[in-house]
Structure 1
Amino acid sequence: MRNHRSHYLGGEEKARIEIIPMIDIMMFLLVFFMLATLKMIQGTGIKLDLPQSSTAEQLQQTVKVSIGVTKNDQLYLDAKEITPEALSAHLQGLVHDSKKVDVAIAGDEGTSYKNIVKVMDLVRAAGISSVALATNPTT
């Protein structure tokens, strides 16, 4: 009788809360909401039927372009190799379409100053005045 009673008094196993499945679910929710938020940023996530106006003007959109210059005088437009003539034609087309183009020129560390100036001349000849040189911050 004594053994039977000790089983009820303190020999039973305590309830445990398993947190590993809960962590898995929380990580899944975090990833889900991050992806959903990324999709909502562009369109603000709200569908609206806007009123019509006969005097409305379209907002000017800014186009951001990245041009890379290597040590070997190769040009890259948004990570695709391009010739100087094709680059000039592409930039002029962007200026004609959107009127506001921001250009960032990323030159390889060993690239000569002359090559960077050539690319800047191509950009300015296309009618773009917003030019920046990309660098890495010092640590």
Structure 2
Amino acid sequence: MKMRYFEYRKARIEIIPMIDVMLFLLVFFVIVTLQMIPDAGVSLQLPTSSQSVDLPHPKITVNVLPDGTIQVKGQTMTDAQLVALFQASGDPSKVELTIATDKTTPFQKFMNVIDDARKAGVSDVGIAAQPASGS
């Protein structure tokens, strides 16, 4: 009788670990894709800046249209509604606000949004701008 150390076994593909890996990859790509969806906004001619940097995804984006209309997520708001929105979002000092306005919008309308943010206690305010060409 001949003794073998290793018995010959036919190779087989384990399907359970492969399913685990595929589900992990699927969940990973779904989460990454959801974070890449931009906040709903309007098409604006943003001013350019040679010092612009990419900001983290803002929590609230306020669009100021050329006619002075204020929009948040597609809804038109008044100054009082904007203050109420900031105050209703929990702790206003932790709200991340980005203001996007057209180049042709009167500066006073832009300042009204900043005033509304200050009234509500928002201190983290970013201004959307396009990077200057050539930088």
Q: Determine if the TM-score, normalized by the shorter chain, exceeds 0.5.
A: yes
Indicate the structure whose relative CO is greater, using CA pairs within 8 Å and at least 6 residues apart.
2
- 2:97 alignment partner in structure 1: 103
Tell me if structure 1 keeps the 8 A contact 2:93–2:121. no
Higher helix fraction (1 or 2)? 1
- 1:37 alignment partner in structure 2: 28
- 1:130 alignment partner in structure 2: 124
Q: 2:108 aligns with which of 94, 108, 114?
A: 114
1:109 maps to amino acid: K
Tell me if structure 2 keeps the 8 A contact 1:64–1:103. yes
2:28 maps to amino acid: T
- 1:65 alignment partner in structure 2: 60
Superposed displacement of residue 131, structure 1: 0.4
TM-score (norm 2): 0.55
Greater Cα radius of gyration, structure 1 or 2: 1
Q: 1:82 aligns with which of 77, 81, 92?
A: 77
Root-mean-square deviation (CA), in Å?
A: 2.9
- What is the alpha-carbon distance in structure 2 between the residues aligned to residue 124 and residue 69 of structure 1? 17
Where does the alignment leave 5 or more consecutive residues of structure 1 unmatched? Answer: 1-31, 43-62
User: Secondary structure in 1 aligned to 2:28?
Assistant: helix
1:74 maps to amino acid: T
1:132 maps to amino acid: G
Identity of aligned residues (%): 26
Aligned residues: 88
TM-score (norm 1): 0.54
